């Protein structure tokens, strides 16, 4: 008994990781829609892997500056000065974290949307 497209699409996320399903392997050559869906999943996985491999480094001197904060002057003013001086570094780090969070959220949404359609 062959599986329907909705059944195949429900298991495609797992198939991307292990390619173990014989039913999926049999279904894909005859179904351009499911093949395209699998290609999108593979693209998402590749993009997330590349994003995870992107190193993020703290601005030079951050650890030393933070270590000095509690011992000098008014802590709040020191923090404000430090953040203002290192704003570009925090901006890049924040944008990278936001991008990673957005990509992960989009992936989860996309995967759940596929399951909802299949149901």
- Is the pLDDT score of 110 beyond 70? yes
* Mean pLDDT to the nearest integer, 14-20: 87
Residues with Cβ within 8 Å of 69's Cβ and at least 6 positions away in sequence, in order, are: 75, 78, 79, 82
Q: Do 74 and 51 meet the contact criterion of CB atoms below 8 Å apart?
A: no
Q: What ranges in 1-119 are assigned the alpha helix state H?
A: 5-18, 22-27, 32-52, 62-68, 75-85, 87-118
The phi, psi pair for 61, rounded to 5°, reads 80, 5
Q: Read off the pLDDT of residues 72-97 as tens digits, 9 standing for 90 and up.
A: 557 777 788 888 888 888 788 888 88
What's the pLDDT at 73?
59
Q: Read off the pLDDT of residues 23-72 as tens digits, 9 standing for 90 and up.
A: 999 999 999 999 999 999 999 888 888 887 777 788 888 888 877 766 65
Q: At 110, list the tokens.
A: 């996309």
What's the pLDDT at 97?
85
- Is the pLDDT score of 118 beyond 60? no
- Is the pLDDT score of 112 beyond 90? no
**pTM score, two decimals?**
0.46
Q: Do 11 and 28 meet the contact criterion of CB atoms below 8 Å apart?
A: no
Residues with Cβ within 8 Å of 114's Cβ and at least 6 positions away in sequence, in order, are: 9, 10, 12, 13, 37
- Is the pLDDT score of 119 beyond 60? no
């Amino acid at each position: 008994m062959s599986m329907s497209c909705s059944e195949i699409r429900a298991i495609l996320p797992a198939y991307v990781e292990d390619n173990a399903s014989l039913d999926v392997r049999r279904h894909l050559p005859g179904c351009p829609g499911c093949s395209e869906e699998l290609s999108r999943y593979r693209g998402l996985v590749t993009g997330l892997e590349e994003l995870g491999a992107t190193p993020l480094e703290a601005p030079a001197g951050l650890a030393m500056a933070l270590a000095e904060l509690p011992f000098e002057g008014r802590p709040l003013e020191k923090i404000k000065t430090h953040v203002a001086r290192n704003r570009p570094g925090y901006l890049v780090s924040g944008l990278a974290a936001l991008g990673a969070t957005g990509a992960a959220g989009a992936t989860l949404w996309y995967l759940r949307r596929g399951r909802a359609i299949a149901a």
